[in-house]
């Protein structure tokens, strides 16, 4: 009679262990939502900031919508450079629409709750767009390199099939990187606290909240940052360096001024975007200065999308001519 009792005790012990493991698993994944603190927790300045950022958001949408309309409706802008600018404007509209609503919500209501699923969805689209923008900026730099350094080969090297391939590879590459990074971050366990000191779901704040080992996730994030950010930055810098050398060899001073004017405006955008992005995403693990993190995030999620149309298009003479025709200005 003792043997059945021993078997029963063993079964109870195994069942108890299974229950303990189940409880531990529940505890490890009990965070089902996060709290976004937003850009500022000070009620006295939130209303002012809300008005400012709402104006910037609407201005960004208006600028980029205008650029897309002008490019699509005027055949004189059906060129490789404007094809990439149209893609960039479309991307910028999506970009600000992913991050700006949560920023405005935080300024309007203060800290607010966001579900785990929505947070990961926002993170996915944010990573897609930021990686795609890096690749598009590199493609635009290459386009300017071919136009200035190899003008006779420009129709062949930048024919429509090549332009379409560069644009599609930019978007698909951004999606693939985002799938890998978002999957790694979503598979982590979040045990609490669940407060994100940011105005949207970003990589570094989420890693700070994870209660499991994040070395693999940090490695994936770091490698993708090196490949996407540093790789595309090198392509852009190499293209603009070759342009500078070619321009300095031009005999005409007017041609030099025109080329330098175009490249200088492009380099301003590239410099602002990459400086802020590289600072954060090439060292994503446990960034301590979260206020600095938020300021830099504002630069490449708000300032850059608003300035890109002005720098890339609205200072362009061809765009000026088309805009005057559209608005019936003399």
Cβ-Cβ contacts under 8 Å for 147 (sequence gap 6 or more): 81, 154, 158
Strand 195-196: give its sheet, edge to edge. 112-115, 33-36, 195-196
Q: What is the pTM of this model?
A: 0.82
Residue whose structure tokens are 């951004």:
174
Per-residue pLDDT of the chain (330 residues), as tens digits, is 445 454 445 444 555 454 444 444 444 446 788 888 888 777 888 889 999 999 999 999 998 999 899 999 988 889 998 899 899 999 999 989 999 999 999 899 888 899 999 999 999 999 999 899 989 989 989 998 998 889 899 999 999 999 999 999 999 999 999 998 899 888 888 887 888 888 898 888 888 888 877 777 778 777 877 788 888 889 998 998 898 888 888 777 777 777 777 677 777 778 877 877 766 655 544 444 556 777 778 887 888 888 887 777 656 778 878 888 887 776
As a whole number of angstroms, the distance between CA 63 and CA 74 comes to 17
User: How confident is the model at residue 27, as a pLDDT?
Assistant: 45
User: How confident is the model at residue 214, as a pLDDT?
Assistant: 76
End-to-end CA distance of the chain: 106
Closest CA to 100 of 42, 57, 157: 57
User: How confident is the model at residue 285, as a pLDDT?
Assistant: 47
User: How confident is the model at residue 290, as a pLDDT?
Assistant: 58
User: How confident is the model at residue 5, as a pLDDT?
Assistant: 53
User: How confident is the model at residue 20, as a pLDDT?
Assistant: 46
Is residue 188 a contact partner of residue 201, using CB atoms and an 8 Å limit?
no
Element (H or E) spanning 19, and its range? Answer: helix 2-28
Per-residue pLDDT tens over the stretch 175-214: 999 998 899 888 888 887 888 888 898 888 888 888 877 7
CA distances in angstroms from 83 to 24, 78, 201, 305, listed in the order given: 53, 7, 31, 17
């Amino acid at each position: 009679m003792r043997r059945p009792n021993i078997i029963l005790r063993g079964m109870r012990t195994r069942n108890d262990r299974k229950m303990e493991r189940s409880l531990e698993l529940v505890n490890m994944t009990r965070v089902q939502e996060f709290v976004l603190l937003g850009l500022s927790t000070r009620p006295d300045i939130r209303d002012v900031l809300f008005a400012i950022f709402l104006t910037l958001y609407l201005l960004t949408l208006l600028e980029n919508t205008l650029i897309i309309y002008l490019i699509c409706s005027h055949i004189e802008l059906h060129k490789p450079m404007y094809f990439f600018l149209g893609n960039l404007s479309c991307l910028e509209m999506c970009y600000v629409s992913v991050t700006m609503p949560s920023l405005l919500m935080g300024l309007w209501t203060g800290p607010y709750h966001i579900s785990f699923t929505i947070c990961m969805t926002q993170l996915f689209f944010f990573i897609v767009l930021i990686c795609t923008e890096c690749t598009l900026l590199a493609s635009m730099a290459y386009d300017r390199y071919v136009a200035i350094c190899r003008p006779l080969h420009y129709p062949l090297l930048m024919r429509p099939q090549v332009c379409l391939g560069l644009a599609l590879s930019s978007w698909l590459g951004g999606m693939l990187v985002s799938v890998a990074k978002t999957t790694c971050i979503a598979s982590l366990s979040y045990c609490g606290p669940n407060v994100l000191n940011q105005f949207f779901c970003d990589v570094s704040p989420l890693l700070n909240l994870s209660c499991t080992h994040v070395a693999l996730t940090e490695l994936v994030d770091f490698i993708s940052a090196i490949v996407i950010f540093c790789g595309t930055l090198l392509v852009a810098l190499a293209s603009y360096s070759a342009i500078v050398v070619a321009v300095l060899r031009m005999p005409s001073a007017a041609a030099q001024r025109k080329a330098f004017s175009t490249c200088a405006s492009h380099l301003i955008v590239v410099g602002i975007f990459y400086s802020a992005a590289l600072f954060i995403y090439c060292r994503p693990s446990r960034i301590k200065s979260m206020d600095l993190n938020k300021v830099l995030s504002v630069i490449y999620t708000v300032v850059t999308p608003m300035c890109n149309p002005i720098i890339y298009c609205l200072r362009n003479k061809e765009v000026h001519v088309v805009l005057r025709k559209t608005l019936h200005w003399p």
